[in-house]
Chains A and B, each alone.
Chain A
Amino acid sequence: MSDVILKVSHLKKYFRTGAGLLHAVDDVSFSVPGGSTIGVVGESGCGKSTLGRTVLRLNEPTDGSVLFEGQELIGASKKTLAKIRPQMQMIFQDPYASLNGRMTVQQLIAEPLIVNRVCRNRREIDQKVSEIMEVVGLSERLTYAYPHELDGGRRQRIGVARALVLDPKFIVCDEPVSALDVSIQAQILNLLMDLQEERNLTYMFITHDLSVVRHISSRIMVMYLGKCVEEADADRLFENPAHPYTQALLAAIPIPSVSSQHVHRTLLQGEVTSPVNPAPGCRFAQRCKYACEACRKEDIPLKEIEPGHFCACVREG
């Protein structure tokens, strides 16, 4: 296993709202070895995007620490951050909203280079932009096109190019394919995996699509209401899910084959409760069929139930 590139410990991000403190990310710890992919799954509102943004310090965290290649990001000065930031980039969810409609493809991809003062002159910038366009599969004739002239798949390729042009080591991918059609989605996923192989990139891949996350990740973290409820290697998690929420999540996926049809599933009842001022204890207790007294008393810590497999449930261990 290669060295740990990112180590997050006890990260918390609370938002102040009219109703009280919203616990978006509540005491999450994980580490990512270089060249691997950690997948973060969960339903909308479970804090996965906030986690991704907080790791990059796009949100100021409430508490905790983020070590990137041994360097502490939380509390780091603007100057230090500016030095580290080119190493860590982000691909955003919606390629229709994340690109400035008044900039050409060329300008969009060159922007990170200009902001970070990487190139000495115009020629160097142009050179780099055309190189990266070829890498992500954008044809040269699109150099002066505007985003509205392009389809979703090509726009997301611009998003990938923008993240990649600074030659980062670590990329947070926040639902990069959820706005795309399946055939286009597969093209982008292949592109991301090829790039990872070529450049030894490390990804944090945030998504709600479980089949996508299994395909791309080496490790998977399942989040529920700001808490990490289970973390394991991708195959282990799918073959042997330990937390009741993970089990329910896996059972809910419709499988595209006829053989599995009409298998009776146990459906999860109810909906996600509010993350504002959550009661102590397991956040999932209200929807959990195994919930007992002990679940509602105090927060359940993550426990290692087998080597490399962590789960936060009183029934385990």
Chain B
Amino acid sequence: MNNELLQVKNLSVQYKTDLETVYAVNDVSFSICEGETLGLVGETGAGKTTTALGIMGLLPKRTAHITGGSISYKGRELTELSKKELLGVRGKQISMIFQDPMTALNPVLTVGDQIGETLRLHNTENLSGEAIEKKVDEMLEMVGIPPERKKEYPYQFSGGMRQRVVIAIALICDPSLLIADEPTTALDVTIQAQILSMICDLQRKYGTAVIMITHDMGVVAETCDKVAIMYAGQIVEYGELKDIFTGDDHHPYTIGLFGSIPSLTKKYRRLTPIEGLMPDPTTLPAGCCFAERCSHCQEICRREKPQPVVSGSHMIRCHAADAHLAAASDFFEKDLSRG
């Protein structure tokens, strides 16, 4: 087993204003080992980006509050770090690729300056200006941009090229964890394929762990080792890639997600979408968040929050899975005690 790099335990984040409280992330736990890729999947408002910003310590100060849980990175508790200590971690050890390359770059600085900025801020090895420039050239080359173009401004680059610049910024300090927040959503499919294969190559080369935030199950299938499916601020299903894509038991939301994707190989008349909408994050229901849209909803689903049911590496948060899997986990425990 690899070393555990980041462990998020029972994390809860709320956005509070005078009028209302948004329960954005509720009791989320996952972990990621060195060199691994974790997919964080969900629809708009599922709390994916809030989780990422929580790890980065970038949540808006005035409204967002981490109300519980812990984020430990290499044994250090990130939620308790001072601002100064956090600066040493952010950008250096954990860095992030933002969703929209059109807005993530500063339009009045050349791309060379922006890539070098991270290294200048985290210059622990006391590199000279010249050495930094050299490293910038190397980075540009690595992401497939001719180094001569470092004197140009973001507007002179296309969307795909800008995303390459953002990736160069994120990777120049050789981080051990990279958070990619929908890195290819704003791009065309041929460019998306280029960027994804580049992230995977770089990851293999440097052993970086990646948290891949996306809503595209295709991207997950091609890049991830582990998958967490989020719904209304909770992880409803979590497991290895094979658990999610081929396992026997699934959360009804996962089944709905797969049913909503039009197939490229099979032709059928109708899709089987999930009816209805995600619950309002200001007033979450007392029971299971998915109960309103679930076709297997029972009485207990509306009354009680389902607890995670674990079988091996696979976790499902559903009352129905409870009954089904209990037998399996019983067996598993017995097996252990016997062994």
The verdict on B89 contacting chain A, using a C-beta distance below 8 Å, is: no
- Give bound CA distance, A249 to B222, whole Å: 16
CB < 8 Å neighbour of B270 from A152, A190, A249, A269:
A190
- Give bound CA distance, A189 to B216, whole Å: 17
The verdict on A135 contacting chain B, using a C-beta distance below 8 Å, is: no
**In chain A between 63 and 77, which residues have their CB closer than 8 angstroms to a CB of chain B?**
none
- Give bound CA distance, A23 to B293, whole Å: 47
List, in ascending order, chain B residues with CB within 8 A of A253's CB. Answer: 189, 218, 264
B203: shortest Cβ distance to chain A, in Å?
A: 14
List, in ascending order, chain B residues with CB within 8 A of A187's CB. Answer: 273, 275
A65: shortest Cβ distance to chain B, in Å?
A: 31
The verdict on B66 contacting chain A, using a C-beta distance below 8 Å, is: no
A252 & B190 in contact (Cβ 8 Å cutoff): yes
A-facing mask of B255-281, CB < 8 A → 1, else 0? 011111111100101111111010000
The verdict on B295 contacting chain A, using a C-beta distance below 8 Å, is: no
A186 & B271 in contact (Cβ 8 Å cutoff): yes
* Stretch of B27-35, B48-56, B129-137, B192-200 at the chain-chain interface: B192-200
A260: shortest Cβ distance to chain B, in Å?
A: 7
B262 & A183 in contact (Cβ 8 Å cutoff): no
A211 & B275 in contact (Cβ 8 Å cutoff): no
B190 & A248 in contact (Cβ 8 Å cutoff): yes
A43 & B242 in contact (Cβ 8 Å cutoff): no
**In chain A between 88 and 108, which residues have their CB closer than 8 angstroms to a CB of chain B?**
none
- Give bound CA distance, A248 to B275, whole Å: 35
- Give bound CA distance, A261 to B219, whole Å: 10
B221 & A254 in contact (Cβ 8 Å cutoff): yes
List, in ascending order, chain B residues with CB within 8 A of A153's CB. Answer: 277
The verdict on A286 contacting chain B, using a C-beta distance below 8 Å, is: no
A248: shortest Cβ distance to chain B, in Å?
A: 6
The verdict on B43 contacting chain A, using a C-beta distance below 8 Å, is: yes
A254 & B216 in contact (Cβ 8 Å cutoff): yes
B250: shortest Cβ distance to chain A, in Å?
A: 14
The verdict on A182 contacting chain B, using a C-beta distance below 8 Å, is: yes
The verdict on A267 contacting chain B, using a C-beta distance below 8 Å, is: yes
- Give bound CA distance, A44 to B186, whole Å: 10
A-facing mask of B204-235, CB < 8 A → 1, else 0? 00000000000111111110000000000000
List, in ascending order, chain B residues with CB within 8 A of A193's CB. Answer: 269-270
A271 & B221 in contact (Cβ 8 Å cutoff): no
The verdict on A134 contacting chain B, using a C-beta distance below 8 Å, is: no
CB < 8 Å neighbour of B160 from A210, A238, A260, A271:
A271
List, in ascending order, chain B residues with CB within 8 A of A317's CB. Answer: none
B190 & A182 in contact (Cβ 8 Å cutoff): no
The verdict on A258 contacting chain B, using a C-beta distance below 8 Å, is: yes
- Give bound CA distance, A185 to B262, whole Å: 10
CB < 8 Å neighbour of A256 from B196, B220, B272:
B220
The verdict on A215 contacting chain B, using a C-beta distance below 8 Å, is: yes
The verdict on B241 contacting chain A, using a C-beta distance below 8 Å, is: yes
The verdict on A257 contacting chain B, using a C-beta distance below 8 Å, is: yes
B75: shortest Cβ distance to chain A, in Å?
A: 33
A212 & B245 in contact (Cβ 8 Å cutoff): no
A225: shortest Cβ distance to chain B, in Å?
A: 13
- Give bound CA distance, A124 to B193, whole Å: 52
- Give bound CA distance, A253 to B221, whole Å: 11
List, in ascending order, chain B residues with CB within 8 A of A265's CB. Answer: 193, 197
A126: shortest Cβ distance to chain B, in Å?
A: 27
The verdict on B333 contacting chain A, using a C-beta distance below 8 Å, is: no
List, in ascending order, chain A residues with CB within 8 A of B193's CB. Answer: 251-252, 254, 265, 267-268
The verdict on A214 contacting chain B, using a C-beta distance below 8 Å, is: yes
List, in ascending order, chain B residues with CB within 8 A of A215's CB. Answer: 262-263, 267, 271
List, in ascending order, chain A residues with CB within 8 A of B220's CB. Answer: 256
B213: shortest Cβ distance to chain A, in Å?
A: 14
CB < 8 Å neighbour of A208 from B188, B216, B256:
B188
Contact of A211 with B190 at beta-carbon distance under 8 Å, contacts A183-B43, A193-B270, A255-B221 already known: no
List, in ascending order, chain B residues with CB within 8 A of A151's CB. Answer: 277
- Give bound CA distance, A248 to B189, whole Å: 10
- Give bound CA distance, A307 to B167, whole Å: 46
The verdict on B63 contacting chain A, using a C-beta distance below 8 Å, is: no
- Give bound CA distance, A187 to B246, whole Å: 25
Could you jot down 25 A-B contacts, CB within 8 Å?
Answer: A43-B189, A152-B44, A182-B215, A183-B274, A184-B277, A186-B273, A187-B275, A189-B271, A193-B269, A212-B262, A238-B264, A249-B189, A252-B189, A253-B264, A254-B196, A256-B216, A256-B217, A256-B245, A256-B258, A258-B221, A258-B241, A267-B194, A268-B194, A269-B194, A272-B188
The 7 closest A-B pairs by CB, nearest first: A254-B218, A186-B273, A215-B262, A256-B217, A186-B260, A252-B193, A181-B43
| Apart from the given pairs A249-B189, A257-B245, A267-B193, 10 other A-B contacts in the complex at a CB distance below 8 Å | A43-B190, A183-B260, A186-B262, A211-B263, A215-B267, A254-B193, A254-B222, A268-B190, A269-B194, A271-B161
A interface residues (Cβ-Cβ under 8 A, vs B): 43-44, 151-153, 181-187, 189-190, 193, 208, 210-212, 214-216, 235, 238, 248-249, 251-258, 260-261, 265, 267-269, 271-272
